[in-house]
A and B are shown apart, each in its own frame.
Chain A
Amino acid sequence: MSQEATCSAASSSIANETVGQVVDRGPISLGRILTNRWFLHTVSIVAFFWLWDWLARSNVLGAGSSVLARPHEVLEQLAVLTREELAELTLWGHVWASTQRVVIGFSIAAAIAVPLGLFMALNRYVNAIVKPLFDLLKPMPPISWISISILWFGIGETSKVFIIVLGTFVPCLLNAYNGVRLVEPELYDVVRMLGGKRRDEILHVCFPASFPAIFAGLQISLSIAWTCVLAAELVSARSGMGYIIVQGMNLSQPAMVIGGMAVIAAAAWGTTLLVTALERKLCPWKRKIVGL
């Protein structure tokens, strides 16, 4: 943030605000290198892995090697898992098992919840019937349904998909509902002024204007879906990434546990990117919000 540096400012405007993008072209100095973003990122990542390695080597967290694995041990463990089978599946098989559950549950929930949310926002009678039931079930965390779903469906695929559907249902529906309710009323006025009917309002205003909110809901749902599938697999499963983690816990192999965590993080990250790409494609009119 050195103000002395010569600046060349390019400006872009969002709505009617002018946002300056300042490019510093000052002389290279030690201070500037030290506060460079990429330099700091590198420092932080190196420090993170070094600290992890040190903690694992020095047994600060507890006696024995079964508390934390060193980073390269985790990589080796993952490599072993891709070659050797654990419960008749290699690493890819487990990844696929979890992903399948997430995709099925997520699709079912989105297919029901989004139209229902839109419908609730558009028709107040539907809203009056569904909203109280929804409010009743909403505060129960999806994970608390695991026990009852095991009582209902046993420990097979159905109970896991059921948990994911329940967990992803809530944000999908809420966001679709709020997306329509928070549409700017001026937009309706425009359609009415141009002689549009109720159908035109819904088709040309409600749907496009609520798209960004719906996609935000889908993103939240996805991360919840991964949490749910993991929780369900931790409680009872014969396959999936949660199973790898549980096996690692039972065998006291932290390398396997951390490997499973890394893979699930990568998978969750991948699906998030996929939805973001889809969103860019489907609703380019969404204003880009700077942030995480």
Chain B
Amino acid sequence: MTAYREVVVRTPLALKILPIVSVATFFIAWEIVVRTGVVPDTMLAAPTTVTQLLFDKFTNMDPDGALLHQHAWVSIQEAFGGYFLALAVGLPLGLAMGWFNVAEGLARPIFEIIRPIPPVAWIPLTIFWFGIGLPGKIFIIWLGGLVPCVINAYVGVKMTNPTLIQMARTYGASDWQIFRQLCIPSALPMVFGALQIALACCWTNLVAAELLAADAGLGFMITMGRRLAMPEMVVLGMFMVGLTGAFIGVIIDRVEKRLLAGIRR
């Protein structure tokens, strides 16, 4: 007789079925509401119409002047441009602010001035400065991604176990050595948290930037849908934004798991 029996945890059948039922009900209700005319089709498009448009958009340039994957590609370019710039500036800045007093003393006040301004508020100034091209949008997205990068890197360094720092000092480590070999590794989980948060911020700001000034991209597609009173295009644009964002999020999650294997969160 073995000492223990394997415990089998059973999820009730209802728990497995309910999620599927709920999503299915949502889409069916949506379809019915539009088909029966409870909600007029100038306000909302049925899921089937949206799906039709989805396939149509891969080959048909009308009425917004670009194919779906071209819109998506423009958006992804802008988002990644801003995102990587934000990482390249924000993470080193945050790490340095966390450890070096001089860096914190100099950068903190400016950061605190910039931080409460929503990135969306910068759009008009950016249009003055850069016009409505790619650099302007990258600037907005960069601003949006910068704040979470700095905060997370900073908090990550600040949360380094003080005992370890004291021990390193006892063994005669210099400030720089402690920063490089102790603070940065211990801040890594927070830094990777920042990757996800910054991505979500970048993606939100991308849509905002494109709503106001653009001639291509998913946000532009949504705006055109509204101007042309085509709700199916608006809904398609929203779904594409959500889908692309979620997809990139999953990729970053994978990379994070690969790189951080073995570090306890």
Contacts and interface: CB of A to CB of B under 8 A. Distances in A.
Interface residues of A, number: 73
Interface stretch (B65-73, B82-90, B230-238, B251-259): B230-238
B109 interface: yes
Contact of A133 (B26, B102, B104, B231): B26
Q: Could you tell me the dominant secondary structure of chain A's interface residues?
A: helix
Given A147-B222, A291-B154, A235 B211 contact: yes
Q: Could you tell me the dominant secondary structure of chain B's interface residues?
A: helix
Contacts of B166: 20
A147 B225 contact: yes
Interface string B113-129: 10011111111110111
Contacts of A265: 113, 116-117, 121
B101 A125 contact: no
Nearest to B21: A129
Interface residues of B, number: 70
B124 A231 contact: no
B251 to A, nearest CB: 13
Given A35-B102, A147-B226, A249-B127, A230 B120 contact: yes
A151 B191 CA distance: 40
Contacts of A40: 101-102, 104-106
B261 interface: no
Interface in A34-62: 35-37, 39-41, 43-45, 48, 61-62
A142 interface: yes
B19 to A, nearest CB: 4
B245 A139 contact: yes
B57 interface: no
A121 B54 CA distance: 36
Contacts of B154: 291-292
A260 interface: yes
A291 to B, nearest CB: 4
A193 interface: no
A118 interface: no
Q: Which of A3, A17, A68, A144 has the most CB of B within 10 A?
A: A144
B262 interface: no
Contacts of A112: none
Given A1-B101, A257-B125, A141 B155 contact: no
Contacts of B21: 129
Interface string A235-250: 1000000100110110
Contact of B19 (A128, A137, A152, A235): A128
A231 B107 contact: no
Contacts of B105: 35-37, 39-41, 43-44
Nearest to A130: B22
Interface of B: 14-15, 18-23, 26, 42-44, 101-102, 104-110, 113, 116-125, 127-129, 151, 154-155, 158-159, 161-163, 166, 169, 175, 203-204, 207-208, 211-212, 219, 222-223, 225-226, 229, 231, 234-235, 237-239, 241-243, 245-246, 249
Closest 8 CB pairs of A and B: A40-B105, A249-B124, A128-B18, A140-B242, A141-B204, A147-B226, A139-B242, A227-B118
Given A231-B208, A248-B124, 14 more contacts: A37-B101, A45-B109, A62-B129, A68-B125, A128-B15, A128-B18, A133-B23, A140-B238, A144-B237, A151-B44, A268-B117, A289-B155, A291-B154, A291-B158
Interface of A: 1, 3, 17, 19-20, 35-37, 39-41, 43-45, 48, 61-62, 66-68, 124-125, 128-133, 136-148, 150-152, 223, 226-227, 230-231, 234-235, 242, 245-246, 248-249, 252, 254, 257-258, 260-262, 264-266, 268-269, 272, 289-292
26 contacts: A3-B169, A37-B101, A40-B105, A44-B106, A68-B125, A68-B128, A128-B14, A128-B15, A128-B22, A131-B19, A132-B23, A133-B26, A139-B245, A140-B238, A140-B242, A141-B245, A143-B211, A147-B226, A147-B237, A148-B226, A151-B42, A151-B43, A234-B124, A249-B128, A258-B125, A289-B155
